[in-house]
Structure 1
């Protein structure tokens, strides 16, 4: 079977959960003997971050033949030179005027969105017709929209949902226009099937979807009992860890900093470590400096070996506002780390069992209290860590791949 995986943005140079799952699926399908290709449409040069099997092709369809109309950027001058301020003010005014003309000609923001999307969708149509895959797997509903806008295919399309479904088509996160939300909902009509991460996520699918639903969780690396963290061992330094993109609006690392800062003086042997990159590095770094905790809280950047960092740690803290699954959290639990998160966070509240494998807090005050309980008690850390390790066995990668392989066959037979 020829399988085409489409992640239209961020696959090149991307190190997030969606990129990791796309790579996992591609490698797994390749091992099953399928012909596999990954396609993206990114106006950049780059490469996949996660290792791919030798036989898997990666294609970036973007070219100068896919022209996009863009508004001129608006810059605010942040310096103190009055002449520079005047220069930037004039440039900003000229850019606003030019943007107004562009939008007037093209039919406003909605017209601009449609115009650019139509050009990209035509390019996708040409590429897909040339490839003639037996099945297409999209890594987001935005990728579904990219390929199906004003297009129809006789090829079955399955969407892999790497978050709670309504995050993908609604305005819950606060940035989508009404037209874009309608277009994304309409894209669900093109799907033969959809994969969701948890049974509860069925309730968050739009009424426009009429295909087959299959609950297939994300894969979690498995470790033998003798490989997990040994909490009974005495150490000179103990580590609380967070592995995630530094994106405060979602990952809320500042809340982990706030919780740890409130009790750090009582526990001189403890440190808080963040692993990951992102746009909020400077904000978090400045927060740490203001608290004078540079010797206790560390922004370590990207790691290509998260398992070794998790094995060095003692508690996994994950204060996200919303998640689909929380891959790094699950990996930490699989390695025997007790986990902390928020009760209202989707995905996190599916993985952490309160008072069993960790704690689910309702606010930062509770998060701080639960964190201190774990820091105080190695026996509690060991008990909860072992419980989490046992629970993650249900997400064995081979089991997940077999479920996917069966799902592909079902969707092909239905179309």
Structure 2
């Protein structure tokens, strides 16, 4: 039986949570006897970052001859060279003129978007018709829209929701136009099944979805209680750690730096360390310099082994504005780090149980108070760390594998039963 996983963008060379889950899921299905292929549509050269079973095939369907009427990106030059400033100023004016003209010629922004989307959907349909999979799993609603827009696919489809569902099809986080919201919402009509991360996320599915919905959490590496971080040891330097993409809109690392700045002078033995890469590296470096914390706050870059870095830390700080699951947080909890997050953050408020295995703060003031409590009390760190490890036991690889295999079998069976009626 053949299963096709689709992540239409960012799979090649991607180091994010979706890419990791896509590879993990492909391996689970392959090991359990399914013929598995992962497909993407990217104008890049690259390969999967996360390990794949040797029987899993990866296909990039990108076709450079496919017609796409694209707008010219707008670039704002911020350098000191006046000649380059003038050059990019002229280019920016031309780009805006060209884009306005293109949208007008195509009947508006929505029509332009749908024209390009339809062309890509036809490309996907040709590929799927040739492959003839028995089941399709899309790694996002955007991937689902890419393959179904204007198409009729007589194949059952499951969508893997790697965030809170409404983040995928609404404008709750900003940036989506109304026509995009309508198209993404309508795409739920094409689904036979959905995987969500927490039971509470059922409430965030659109009313037009009528398929099977199963709760299957992301897997967290399980750490034996004998290997947990030791909080009763005396050290020369203590460490607050954060792991995640450097993205202040979502991850809010700037908040962690600001909170640490309020406590840094009082607790001279403590440092703050970030592991991850992302678009806001420069912004965070500037903030660190302006606060005079270059010797206390460190941006370490990418790591292939975040658990190794966490093992050397004492507290995990995770001030995200929104999350789907918060895998880095879950890994920190599994290794026995007491953690702090915001009570309003989805995903985070599912993993952290306030005052049981960490702290959920209502605002930055509370987060500062909780961080100070953890700094001064090693026994509190130890108690919360042990409970964190226990709480992560339910998010095992085995539970994820069992959940997915059950969902796949149920959706295929239901689809066949419906076809026989």
Report the TM-score, using the length of structure 2 for normalisation.
0.97
Residue correspondence of structure 1 range 8-407 to structure 2 within 5 A: 8-407=8-407
Q: CA deviation at 1:79?
A: 4.0
Residue 238 and residue 80 in structure 1: after superposition, are their counterparts in 2 closer, same or farther (change >3 A)? closer
Q: CA deviation at 1:89?
A: 2.7
Q: CA deviation at 1:65?
A: 2.9
Worse-matched range after superposition: 282-291 or 101-110? 101-110
Unaligned 5+ runs, structure 2: 416-421
Q: CA deviation at 1:410?
A: 0.3
Q: Residues of 1 paired with 2:189 and 2:212: CA distance?
A: 12
Q: CA deviation at 1:238?
A: 1.2
Post-superposition Cα deviations, 1:130-180, rounded to whole Å, max 9, x if no partner, equal: 111111111100011000000111111000000000010000111111111
Q: CA deviation at 1:81?
A: 4.8
Residue 110 and residue 224 in structure 1: after superposition, are their counterparts in 2 closer, same or farther (change >3 A)? same
Q: Residues of 1 paired with 2:10 and 2:218: CA distance?
A: 19
Q: Residues of 1 paired with 2:236 and 2:52: CA distance?
A: 39
Residue 410 and residue 235 in structure 1: after superposition, are their counterparts in 2 closer, same or farther (change >3 A)? same
Q: Residues of 2 paired with 1:299 and 1:232: CA distance?
A: 27
Q: Residues of 2 paired with 1:84 and 1:316: CA distance?
A: 43
Q: Residues of 2 paired with 1:272 and 1:118: CA distance?
A: 48
Q: Residues of 1 paired with 2:160 and 2:80: CA distance?
A: 49
C-alpha root-mean-square deviation of aligned residues, in Å?
1.1
Post-superposition Cα deviations, 1:175-210, rounded to whole Å, max 9, x if no partner, equal: 111111000000000000001111110110001111
Q: CA deviation at 1:80?
A: 4.7
Aligned residue number for residue 418 of structure 2: none
**Residue 5 (str. 1) matches residue 8 (str. 2):** no
- Runs (4+) of structure 1 exceeding 6 A deviation are none
Unaligned 5+ runs, structure 1: none
Residue 80 and residue 332 in structure 1: after superposition, are their counterparts in 2 closer, same or farther (change >3 A)? closer
Q: Secondary structure at the match of 1:37?
A: strand
Q: Secondary structure at the match of 1:159?
A: strand
Q: Residues of 1 paired with 2:83 and 2:20: CA distance?
A: 48
Equivalent residues, number = 415
Q: Residues of 2 paired with 1:16 and 1:77: CA distance?
A: 29
Q: Secondary structure at the match of 2:265?
A: helix
Worse-matched range after superposition: 277-286 or 72-81? 72-81
Q: Secondary structure at the match of 2:53?
A: coil
Q: Residues of 1 paired with 2:370 and 2:174: CA distance?
A: 31
Q: CA deviation at 1:82?
A: 4.5
Q: Secondary structure at the match of 1:23?
A: helix
